[in-house]
Structure 1
Amino acid sequence: MAHKNFCGLDFGTSNSTVACRFGDQIELVPVEGESRTLPSAIFFEFSDGSACFGRAAIRRYVEGAEGRLMRSLKSILGGSLMEETTRIKSRVYSFKDIIGLVLGRLKAEAERAAGAEIERVVLGRPVHFVDDNPAADRSARDALEEIARAQGFREIDFQYEPIAAALAYERTVNEEQYALIADIGGGTSDFSVVRVSPEGRRREDRSADVLANKGVHIGGTDIDRLLSLRKVMPLLGSRSERRGDFGHKILPVPNAFFVDLSTWHRINFLYKPEVGRELQSLLRDSLSPELIERLIGVIENKRGHSIALAVEAAKIELSARDRAAVDLAEIEPGLSAPVTPGDLRDAIADRLGQLSACLGATLESAGLSAERIDVVFLTGGSTAVPAVREAVTALTPRARIVEGDLFGAVGLGLGLDAQRKFG
């Protein structure tokens, strides 16, 4: 039997995949039923303390089961929450423990598919876990390695996610090309310029073919947050006003509640008792009490993730239609927030500028003009957002656009890299 005890594992902000070797081929393995992607979500059942993952986790939350949904956990790596704990009913978990449960589930599914214990792994990583902070970036990488080792991986290596995507794309080429790889997922936007070729597939050392790597902490969850802040949070009282102390001043309502409610990995922090007390105080001073009452209802009924899911669904719908609505009927019958592609573009205008700047810096670092780029390879779910796609492709108008497997190209490439390193 060929060695199967290695894999490539893409632990993504929104979705995760694993690739293993079967015979002479590297393939993505089923990780949830027949699906080869696992939404990076976990739901803890309050009734018995058990956990479920992926689509099942989201389904249990939507069904109204008593429990706690957690998603976008990769965003915690490198941040202040990494060393903190959270109580789920009577048990206290560190966030490393929770990420470990997701990685452990992926490892178990890979071993089930491969029919062998897997001890060696190439993990994907963004170019920067944390922007402009090398110490925090190193801390995030070390934390992910520690978590993987605790799940039973003995040999661990890393590969930049856009380089992994380049390896997946290279399997399809029949001539040398300069490829700009754009991997824009749930948490980060990463770019690489790579020389790909049929001959390159056979070379073990590819360092000379990697001309540039750049990245910025912008992804699908940022798009969701900004769209929510612009179109949904005003329905819950953001941008409204309150009376100041002693009623002498009119002040804006604090924005922190709405930022947390729009940010996947911070929603659960709003369910603490002290937040409820703060909101009751805010209600007494509010000049729009009906909106703050609506906000309080969302928090008391723990429906923050319902809003986040509805915003995400509307964003996805806008990729194919010229209008959509954020369905908030679960919050209040008939309540919705209409959105258009223009609304989305306006909400993320600053981020689009940052993407363009990062792309320009990538080309400059590679020492290539835009005209030298033969192909732009798109992967990551956020490249399906038209405004994002336009920002990515505008700098290289002569390049051919190739859309890879939006959710699987990185995982497949990590498997190819694992074969090169461990196979």
Structure 2
Amino acid sequence: MGNACGVDFGTSNSTMGWVRPGQQTMLVLEEGKPTLPSVVFFNADDDEVSYGRAALADYLAGYEGRLMRSLKSLLGTSLMDGQTEVAGRSLSFRMLLAQFIGELKRRGEQAAGRSFDSVVLGRPVHFIDDDAVADKAGEDTLAEIARSVGFRHIAFQYEPIAAAFDYESQIDREELVLIADIGGGTSDFSLVRLSPGRAMKPERRDDILATAGVHIGGTDFDKYLSLAAVMPLLGYGTQLLSGVEVPSSYYFNLATWHTINLAYTRKMTAQLAELVRDAKEQDKMQRLQALIEDRAGHWLAMQVEEAKIGLSSEDSVVLDLDRLSPPAALDVPRQLFGRAISHLVDDVGNTVTGMLADAGVRQEQIDTIFFTGGSSGVGLLRERIGAVVPSARKVEGDLFGSIGAGLALDAVRKFA
């Protein structure tokens, strides 16, 4: 048990847990917090690498360099075997993930005052939807990376199951629970029988009635909010003099966290210069051109992400886009956000409905919905899931810590 931990490598945030009698499970990773944002910044000015909040701060401070975020989204895709240019040299995406996970391990061990050689890694129900080969490749790649940074014994657990184990430690009776884990990259669900007595069992397979997942998460909500609200200011949906619509690839790259850097390639820059000359609305295209020349794509994505968070509780927010040229202040109503993500919300709701049907469980049999994951705070999504099982009690867990805590509990079972 002493050398076994749980690691939740997340699309947006990562955590590390270690079970110790009478002490907090979650290890402190940065600035007194148990979360480390899954961000790496290569500072070209100082030739240094920073992680987490420090990486975001360095980027926003204006240092020259390369920001990488949402690296987990690469697992299982063909991009995983590719490379990117960092500070004038090629660096493989595998190496980038290994750098971050190695730093996560180092910080966790420093906080614990000991090394860890055994780990239960969280994984989504599907790294890639409807592709078993790619899904297995995602898990295998993550295992190889974990082994390369010093973990000798590696096991996996579905993230919603891990969240279920954390919730189980807080209840005093048996419940049939729908776990809704809405993270940065995926929405994962499990239907599990939980109780204090069942928690003592070394094998829980019989308690898991069903699992399901879909590759939709917080970064997708960011993407479609950006396309609906912000990208039209930069020419999205406008036309060239020929009557052809401006190619959407620039906007989709800028609106998607892990492809933002693709907008900065020399080829894209040259193509964009030609499009500006041929655009009907040159002012908007010049605004896009200036944004890309300033490499401010991640800054823009951060503003959209903040707007998304604000719209989870407010009827409208104001986006202060002061780095655009010219600057803009954009009023974004919640209704616009709802329309932008409605197709995603429907897909998530249908995933839950399908899981219950596959398990042969009626909605009235479910006692509790346990929400976890940073994106479970999106009101429209929570309402849609709640409508599938309207009689169930709604419980909110630690949005960022439940999975890591559950993985640490599972590490005790697997490696004790």
- Taking structure 2 as the reference length, the TM-score comes to 0.98
Task: Give, as a single letter, the amino acid of the residue that structure 1 aligns with 2:310.
Answer: E
Instruction: Report whether the alignment pairs 1:176 with 2:169.
Output: no
Counterpart secondary structure, 1:4: coil
Counterpart in the other structure of 1:387: 380
Q: CA deviation at 1:334?
A: 4.0
> Structure 2: which amino acid aligns with 1:381?
G
Preserved CA contact (<8 Å) 1:68 1:88: yes
Residue type at the aligned position of 2:49? A
> Which residue of 36, 39, 64 corresponds with 2:37?
39
Q: How do 1:331-410 and structure 2 match up within 5 A?
A: 331-332=324-325, 334-410=327-403
2:249 partner amino acid: A
Q: 1:159 aligns with which of 157, 160, 164?
A: 157
* Residue in structure 2 matched with residue 10 of structure 1 by the alignment: 8
Identify the residue that residue 206 of structure 1 maps to in structure 2: 204
2:129 paired residue among 128, 131, 136:
131
Tell me if 1:281 matches 2:279: no
Q: Distance in 1 between matches of 2:330 and 2:272?
A: 23
2:263 to 263, 270, 279: 270
**Alignment correspondent of 1:421:** 414
Does 1:290 find its partner at 2:283? yes
Give distance in 2, aligned partners of 1:212 and 1:83: 32
Q: For residues 38-187 of structure 1, what are the structure 2 equivalents within 5 Å?
A: 38-187=36-185
Q: CA shift at 1:48, angstroms?
A: 3.6
**2:391 aligned counterpart, secondary structure:** coil
CA distance in 1, matches of 2:240, 2:276: 9
Q: How many residues are aligned here?
A: 416
For residue 6 of structure 1, what is the amino acid of its counterpart?
A: A
What is the CA distance between 1:345 and its match in structure 2? Answer: 0.7
Letter in 2 for 1:223: F
Distance 1:31 1:420 in 2: 24
- Provide Cα deviations, 1:302-352, integer angstroms capped at 9, x if missing partner: 000011000000111111211102221112354032211111110011111
For residues 109 and 370 of structure 1, what CA distance do their matches in structure 2 show? 43
CA deviations on 1:4-58 (whole Å, 9 max, x unpaired) are 2111000000000000122365600001121100111010010243211111111
* Aligned equivalents of 2:412, 2:396: Cα separation in 1: 24
Conservation of the 8 A alpha-carbon contact between 1:211 and 1:365: no
Gaps of 5+ in 2: none
Code of the residue aligned with 2:286 in structure 1: it is E
Unaligned runs of 5+ in 1: 245-249
**Counterpart-to-counterpart distance in 2, 1:105 and 1:89:** 20
Q: Which runs of 4+ in 1 moved over 4 A?
A: none
- AA partner of residue 352 (structure 2): L
Q: How far apart are the structure 2 equivalents of 1:154 and 1:103? A: 14
Amino acid at match of 1:258: Y
Using the size of structure 1 for normalisation, the TM-score is: 0.97
Q: Of residues 236, 239, 253 in structure 2, which corresponds to 1:238? A: 236
Matched, 1:223 2:216: no
Which amino acid in the other structure matches residue 275 of structure 2?
L
- Equivalent in 277, 291, 310 of residue 303 of structure 2: 310
Distance (Å, rounded) in 2 between the aligned partners of 1:280 and 1:334? 21
CA RMSD, aligned part only? 1.1
* Distance in 1 separating the partners of 2:358 and 2:114: 42
Aligned-partner SS, 2:115: coil
* C-alpha distance in 2 between matches for 1:13 and 1:325: 26
- Partner of residue 259 from structure 1, selected from 252, 257, 275: 252
**Residue 329 of structure 1 aligns to which amino acid in structure 2?**
D
Contact 1:324 1:340 in 2 (8 A): yes
Distance 1:109 1:325 in 2: 37
User: Structure 2 counterpart of 1:139, which letter?
Assistant: A
Instruction: Tell me if the contact between 1:22 and 1:114 (Cα under 8 Å) persists in the aligned partners.
Output: no
How far 1:74 moved relative to its partner?
Answer: 0.5
Other-structure match for 2:314 = 321
Q: CA deviation at 1:102?
A: 1.1
User: Are 2:290 and 2:325, in contact at CA under 8 Å, matched by a contact in 1?
Assistant: no
